[in-house]
Amino acid sequence: MNSTNNTPISEELNSPDTSANVRKSSLCKANSTCNKSATDVTLKQLFEQRTSDERAHNIAQKMLDNCSFSAHLGIELVDARAHYSVCKMKVESKHTNGHDTCHGGAIFSLADTTFAHLCNANNQVVVGHMCTIAYWQPALIGDELYAYAYESGVYGRSGSYRVEVTRGKNGDILAEFQGFSRALKGKMHF
């Protein structure tokens, strides 16, 4: 029995920090090693993380270099780590749909590319097989869109990822993307 179930919130007012009982979403784990203070982390842990982050970065860059569709849309790599990946795209007239707003397909493509980098970060061939996207606000010409991809979980050969698309770096969320992936057999040889 969980005590918070029965304790009125008001009785907890003496405690300045009730967050001790709040579980973090699985999406909050990005670079969890780094979240520890430097003294908690051994050099070995740091080195291993850097190695997997470096590999993820190299893979993302290679994937982007080979992806003519992303080049066509002007998608650029911002950051790529083992469990976290970021791309950006500036909305130009070529992305618009006639209402001077960015076509939903262009926003989806930015999110999908970032998702692809992240789910392939382990150097295994992984493909997206199912995605959802929700649009919250329109993107306009001149907006610089950032897509932040988070690993939610990997379960056997399946993976689950979330991408948030914002207007400007760390700006308002314009769209939320969810991607489900499946690992095929074979390495990417990056």
Least separation in angstroms between residue 140's CB and its own copies is 14
Least separation in angstroms between residue 20's CB and its own copies is 8
Let me know: does 88 contact 76? Beta carbons within 8 Å: yes
The residue length of the chain stands at 190
Distance between CA 97 and CA 54 in Å, rounded?
Answer: 37
Give the nearer residue to its own copies in terms of CB position, either 73 or 145. Answer: 73
Give the nearer residue to its own copies in terms of CB position, either 38 or 185. Answer: 38
Which amino acid type is present at position 175? A
Least separation in angstroms between residue 185's CB and its own copies is 14
Q: Exposure of 32 by Cβ count < 10 A (0-12 exposed, 13-18 middle, 19+ buried)? A: exposed
Least separation in angstroms between residue 124's CB and its own copies is 14
Give the nearer residue to its own copies in terms of CB position, either 135 or 140. Answer: 135
Least separation in angstroms between residue 142's CB and its own copies is 15
Give the nearer residue to its own copies in terms of CB position, either 143 or 160. Answer: 160
Let me know: does 140 contact 101? Beta carbons within 8 Å: yes
Least separation in angstroms between residue 149's CB and its own copies is 10
Which amino acid type is present at position 51? T
